[in-house]
Chains A and B, each alone.
Chain A
Amino acid sequence: MRSRLRRDIVVGLILFFVLFFLPTLFPKPALRDFLIYVIAYGLLAMSLNLLIGLTGLVAFGHAAFFASGAYTFALLMQWGRTSIPVAMLAAILGTAVLALVIGAICVRLKNIYFSFITLAFQMFLHSVILTWVSMTGGDQGLQGGIPRPVFFGIDLNNARTLYSFCVVTFVLCLAIMRQVSESPFGYTLRMIRDNPERANFLGVNVVRMKLGVFVLSGAMASVGGIVLALFVSGAYPEFGFWTTSGEAIFMLMLGGTQLFLGPLAGALLLEALNHYITIYTEYHGLVLGVVILVIVLGLRRGIADSLFAYVTQRREARRIDEVKRPILQPTKNEPA
């Protein structure tokens, strides 16, 4: 399976170069800013897909980790004694610990219970952010800006350098997530998604595996929050509000859960959509809500997943025609 690894590396490099040089080809600050938003929310959506698409855990409170990354990073930088990389690592680790604590309670629950409990914990974090005004600035958000001291000769006060730094961070995170989903761990998660009881009878510790991916996914979401905090030079309670989690789920629906880069496409689409909706109306939620309803009720699945299912069906149909197996033909009697 060396060829799959090679393909992943090639796709990763292409993505990197496209993102890296796009602002050089179209040197507009607006495009660069837009792409940073796509990167931040893309990380949120892609990390969420580790839970939803890969493991079958429909988390509805993922923005908690997005916000935790943003606030931890921003507060550490404002404290003024850490460099950017150290603060980033600390924020990621801190969020991983938070995810470990929340996850330890959540992953024992199934289906919609899991969804709601993750949402509840997110809203708890949100209310902590709102009430702990002395620390977080409450509903005004973290004021005063985030300093960007030079490290290793890299000066993130330069907008182009900041963008490049975000792209590198982004592609690095993507590489980690891709590797994990293609590893033995990733395939064990697929077993759990398909059939947790059976996986359990095959000696898989389902609860611990779920907790493992929950922590990883939370840590990756925190990187998205860090990127956004770095870019907007602050942190806001909206990062951890339930609508942010809702948007991440909508991104998955737009881009699909079955293709690795699908959620990124979803983030791109939704960010573009948001961009235009906010230009034309202040009733952003109304328009977005109607768009979601039309898509959900119009299609039976997400846009990309519908396409994906269609293509897979066609491919399988062709395969079955080719391989006519003689042993154990299907019978009409289904088991009782």
Chain B
Amino acid sequence: MLRVDNLTKSYGGVKVTRGVSLDFPTGSITAMIGPNGAGKTTFFNLISGHVRPDAGRVVFDDQDIVGLSSLEIARRGMARAFQVATLFPSLTVREAVTAAVISHRGHSWQVLSRFPLQSARARVDELMDLMGLTSAADTLSSILSHGDQKLLDIGLALAMNPKMLLLDEPTAGMGPDERWRMIEKVRSLWEKQRITVLFIEHDMDIVFKIAQTIHVLKYGAVLAQGTPDEIRGNNDVIEAYLGTDQRLSEAVGEV
């Protein structure tokens, strides 16, 4: 689905992404981990067209997408949810999801019909149901709880029928119970919707539990990649994390 070759980016002489080459097969669920400042979010920005790489290739769905705008990449089926849920505060949940569906179907320019298009209704209901937001349908998205906002953010991304979903810390800022509920949601989306998923996560329990493959970044370069078991036993990873991320060293230590 997505293949990245030798991706490089620097800001004012500081290399934030150093020759990263990774492969994300169709239908896989992959986690990306690494200490703060490892370049994970930059990696997302690079592949989603938000930031242009200095060098390297990004092949998405068999096409080189380097140089395409974030808009074009989004339209080709790469959807993204953000670390801090970014929503449309003045729209209700239903309105926001409807607007996203309408945009995906190319109906944004319609001026003669009235807004909640009847034709979009079934899809909107389905998406709200999928994200468990049906009972909040008429709530303004700005006053949703933090967890619901993140769910809505993902729901908006799903409205595009994406081939691949990028999730930047889907559980950030959540309590332990909420966290697991969210991750079950992500797992069931991956299983039932057959979407290729790539997510950034700090909670190692979660990473080891649901990811098929784990890529570890450090200082903008790939430190290690492999299955959860391989990563657990990788000395480089343990070394990189010891003292920098208590949670990983704990998680690794438990094995």
Contacts and interface: CB of A to CB of B under 8 A. Distances in A.
B74 A200 contact: yes
Contacts of A212: 109
B71 A335 contact: no
Interface in B138-166: 138-140, 143, 145-148, 151, 156-157, 159-160
Nearest to A189: B108
A336 B41 CA distance: 14
Contacts of B74: 200-203
B97 to A, nearest CB: 10
B170 to A, nearest CB: 11
Contacts of B104: 202-203
Interface stretch (B7-15, B60-68, B80-88): B80-88
Nearest to B69: A200
Interface residues of A, number: 43
A182 B91 contact: no
Contacts of B123: none
A183 B115 contact: yes
A319 interface: yes
Contact of A320 (B113, B114, B143, B174): B143
Contacts of A325: 135-136, 145, 148
Contacts of A193: 90
Contact of B139 (A1, A185, A319): A319
Contacts of B178: 328-329, 331
B175 to A, nearest CB: 5
B143 A316 contact: yes
Contact of A202 (B100, B115, B173, B182): B100
A17 B140 CA distance: 35
A206 B108 CA distance: 11
A188 B99 contact: yes
A184 interface: yes
Using C-beta atoms within 8 Å of the partner chain, give the interface range for chain B.
35 or more
Given A184-B108, A316-B140, A316-B143, A202 B135 contact: no
A200 B110 contact: no
B255 interface: no
Contact of B79 (A191, A201, A204): A201
B213 interface: no
Contacts of B82: 198
A190 interface: yes
A183 B99 CA distance: 10
7 contacts: A184-B107, A190-B88, A190-B91, A194-B90, A328-B132, A330-B147, A333-B175
Interface of B: 48, 70-71, 74-75, 79-80, 82-84, 86-91, 95-96, 98-100, 102-104, 107-117, 132, 135-136, 138-140, 143, 145-148, 151, 156-157, 159-160, 169, 172-175, 178, 181-182
A-B complex: 10 closest residue pairs judged by Cβ atoms: A328-B147, A335-B173, A330-B145, A194-B88, A188-B108, A184-B110, A198-B86, A183-B111, A331-B175, A335-B172
Interface of A: 1, 4-5, 179-180, 182-188, 190-191, 193-195, 197-206, 209, 212, 316, 319-320, 323, 325, 327-331, 333-336
